[in-house]
Chain A
């Protein structure tokens, strides 16, 4: 009753303000635009008040570390431990990237994150014809166990957590990491890290697929099952909105598609016969941080709330830890401009701030030269320093969810949540995630949003500083980062030597056994591990799978 009375008073006060103070102000100075919109094109009202926030605060927010985790998954958040500063790095051969890892560790990064080159992402060895021209250009080439060993030489793999951005061939690359650790006497039980392994968003956005969706999903669930038994601290998936957003999606689409994918993985795991509590703890997430501070914040908070509710109520997870959505964040590569690139440091700072205010568990900050190339050393260091300034100088890590309770933020969180549920309904109407992929639903939604954004920039409805306004005519000096011919030659030579010196019979048998396992219902992980131990290369292992599973042809649309 009291609540309703308060509401009435607020409504009356607001009305009075609108009719007097506001009206006079608008008469004296009209607003700059008719409509204000977020980066995603969502209209933003002039003012938000408690009237815009429905429902009870305890149901919407709870307390940090408690259901529905809107305010964060830990009771003390960054007062207990700062987020992991994890810089995505990789170029050239394993030696080049190993040097960059050591450089970043020396400058204070706290977790590793491996970027692989295009051939590796598609399951080709460096010396295959499909790999022509692509060696090491946007990540490191890892074709064999030998490359993996060099990549991590001198790095404490028992102590560090390693994230690997690898999807279609994720189980093979993970097997190489596990066999590398085994060779160094590091027990799997203590290994910490993440394989991205999120194939659904590949069909939707990132497009690094090899096999059709069902076969790929089976490989993903194989890693869930294997990981829960043998590598319990490892996140066997990072369910990623990042690439969905980069491909053009709005914040709401990123949120909705990512969580729809997340729920699809849970269904597949349950269908395999696993208990949801046995694998849900190892599901992790990965979101984008774009320019629009409040919209991004609202997205992370809505994501936590939806996931907690769905895991508890829809999937019946009993362990409260399974209700918590843990996520990595990367600032928006797509927001970086080639024009006046130094300004990208400012953009990245705002985006990183959103991630931290949004309660991220780990963060990668992009380097300012990335509209030109994979970052050079200096640019990568500035990006890392940006995180360190946020952590140690800005004060935002001193309290939990500092913006919680902002009327605007809470209203936006509710709006994004509601929009996500509307998308879940549409996806169900299309028959679920995979049928919607086959129909090109996600792909078309994303392409439409990308085009609308670009039109807004063209029509100057949206200002991009240095691109369509505040333009200067100057030559940009970026210290180039080039992949050396010597690295390429060393890599090819290493591969040839491996093929020459390995035990041919053991190798052949391992691949034959893998072939049979792929054709059967058996978990493929043990067979992949044996193939890696027998020095089969990435390309050879993926060729076996290509033979069994066949290719994927995506619906062509734009």
Chain B
């Protein structure tokens, strides 16, 4: 019997109060169409909620989307809480309206990649595929 390969599991989350969900939904759908198991949290998730959902759902990676400018507070908090819960291996990436200066800071805080406006979906899909294999 050949084992059925486990599907890559991804959590797409909207941290904070930001209601702009177009990008998050498009990415969620592209990942699903690429054969991944996608869990979409919906809006207004506190970092604690996101981490809890990620652990419960046993995901390989988390995609955080924010267009309201709160990314510097919320994204690193998710990484910090994951580590605290012993789930630091879950890959965290971000997307949205992120000023260029913030990207190196986010990466230093453990955000593995930042996808700004205009990023091809294909690039995001291959990133998650790699992240899933590494898990």
Interface residues of A (CB under 8 A from B): 118-119, 121-122, 124, 130-134, 137-138, 206-208, 246-248, 334, 336-339, 371-374, 447, 450-451, 454, 458, 464, 466-468, 475-476, 478, 480, 483, 554, 556, 558
Query: In whole angstroms, what is the CA distance A467 to B119 when docked?
Result: 8
Contacts of A480 in B (CB 8 A): 99, 101
B104 on interface, CB distance cutoff 8 Å: no
Asked whether A338 lies within 8 Å of B116 as measured between CB atoms, the reply is yes
12 more contacts with CB within 8 A, not counting A130-B46, A337-B118, A372-B97, are A118-B70, A133-B16, A134-B17, A134-B69, A338-B116, A451-B26, A458-B120, A467-B118, A468-B120, A476-B100, A483-B69, A558-B24
A122 to B99, CA, bound (A): 24
Asked if B68 and A137 sit within 8 Å, CB to CB, the answer is yes
A118, A334, A458, A556: the one within 8 Å of B42 (CB)? A556
Identify B29's interface contact among A121, A372, A558, CB under 8 A.
Answer: A558
B25 part of interface (Cβ distance < 8 Å): yes
Q: Does B73 contact A (CB under 8 A)?
A: yes
CA of A155 to CA of B100, assembled, Å: 35
- Chain A nearest Cβ from B59, distance in angstroms: 16
Contact (A138, B25) CB under 8 Å given A206-B19, A554-B42, A556-B40: no
A373 lies within 8 A of B69 (CB): yes
**Given A133-B74, A556-B40: A118 and B68 within 8 A (CB)?**
yes
Please judge, given known A-B contacts A133-B16, A339-B118, A554-B43, whether A372 and B100 are in contact too, CB under 8 Å.
yes
Residue B18 interfacial (CB < 8 Å)? yes
Residues of B within 8 A of A371 (CB): 97, 116-118
Q: Which chain A residues lie closer than 8 Å to B22 at the CB level?
A: 246-248, 334, 447, 450
Interface class of chain A by DSSP: loop
In the complex formed, the residue of A with least CB distance to B70 is A133
Are A133 and B73 closer than 8 Å at their CB atoms? yes
Contact B26 A130 (CB under 8 A): no
Instruction: Check B37 for interface membership: any CB of A closer than 8 A.
Output: no
Q: Closest B-chain residue to A453, C-beta based?
A: B26
Complex contact A118–B117 (CB within 8 A): no
Across the interface, which residues of B come within 8 angstroms of A447, CB to CB?
Answer: 22, 25-26, 29
Residue of B70, B100, B122 near A137 (CB, 8 A) is B70
27 A-B contact pairs sorted by A residue (CB < 8 Å): A118-B16, A121-B19, A132-B16, A132-B73, A132-B74, A133-B72, A133-B74, A206-B19, A208-B19, A246-B22, A336-B117, A338-B117, A338-B118, A372-B97, A372-B99, A373-B97, A447-B25, A450-B26, A451-B26, A454-B121, A464-B118, A480-B99, A554-B43, A556-B40, A558-B12, A558-B28, A558-B29
Residues on the A chain within 8 Å of B72, using CB? 133
B75 to chain A, nearest CB (A): 10
A453 to chain B, nearest CB (A): 9
Interface residues of B (CB under 8 A from A): 12, 16-22, 24-26, 28-30, 38, 40, 42-44, 46, 67-70, 72-74, 97, 99-101, 116-118, 120-122
Least distance between A190 CB and chain B CB atoms (Å): 34
A134 and B19 contact, CB distance less than 8 A: no
Q: Is the CB of B17 within 8 A of A130?
A: yes
B17, B18, B25, B29 interface centre (most CB from chain A within 10 Å): B17
A134 contacts which of B46, B68, B118 (Cβ < 8 Å)? B68
Given the known interface contacts A118-B17, A133-B16, the answer about A138 and B100 at a Cβ–Cβ threshold of 8 Å is: no
CB-defined contacts of A475 to chain B, threshold 8 Å? 100
> Smallest Cβ distance from A171 to chain B, in angstroms?
20
Q: How far is the CA of A554 from the CA of B25 in the complex (A)?
A: 14
Residues of B near A247 (CB, < 8 A) are: 21-22
Between B20, B46, B74, B116, the greatest number of chain A beta carbons within 10 A of the residue's beta carbon is seen for: B20
Most-contacted residue by chain B among A336, A454, A468, A476 (CB, 10 A): A454
Q: A134-B17, A206-B19, A208-B19 are in contact. Are A458 and B122 (CB under 8 A)?
A: yes
The 3 closest A-B pairs by CB, nearest first: A133-B73, A137-B69, A207-B19
Shortest C-beta distance, A329 to chain B (Å), equals 20
Smallest distance from the beta carbon of B14 to chain A beta carbons, Å? 9
Specify which chain A residues have a CB less than 8 angstroms from the CB of B97 in the assembled complex.
371-373
A127 to chain B, nearest CB (A): 14
Min CB–CB distance B4 → chain A (angstroms): 25
**How distant is the Cα of A447 from the Cα of B26 in the complex, in angstroms?**
7
Please report the C-alpha to C-alpha distance between residue A338 and residue B29 in the assembled complex, in whole angstroms. 23
Q: Considering the chains assembled together, what is the distance between the CA atoms of A318 and B40 in angstroms? A: 49
Give the complex CA separation of A374 and B99 in angstroms: 10
A483 to B72: give the CA distance in the assembly, Å: 12
- Verify A122–B121 contact, CB threshold 8 A: no
Return chain A residues, CB-CB under 8 Å to B21: 207, 247
| Closest Cβ–Cβ distance, residue B100 to chain A (whole Å) | 7
Give Cα A124–Cα B70 distance, bound, in whole angstroms.
15
Bound together, the chains give a CA A26 to CA B64 distance in angstroms of 50
**Residue picked from B12, B70, B99, B100, most chain A C-beta under 10 Å:** B70
A119, B68: Cα distance in complex, Å: 11
Query: Which residue of B is nearest A338, CB measured?
Result: B117
Residues of A near B68 (CB, < 8 A) are 118, 134, 137-138
List residues of chain B with CB within 8 A of the CB of A554.
42-43
Residue with the greatest number of chain B CB neighbours at <10 A, chosen from A207, A374, A475:
A207
Which residues on B sit within 8 Å (CB–CB) of A458?
120-122
Q: How far is the CB of A152 from chain B (nearest CB, A)?
A: 24
Using CB atoms, name the residue of chain A closest to B71. A133
* From A132, A373, A475, residue with most partner B Cβ within 10 Å: A132
B113 to chain A, nearest CB (A): 15
A468–B19 alpha-carbon span in the complex (Å): 27
Q: Contacts of A337 on B, CB cut-off 8 Å? A: 117-118
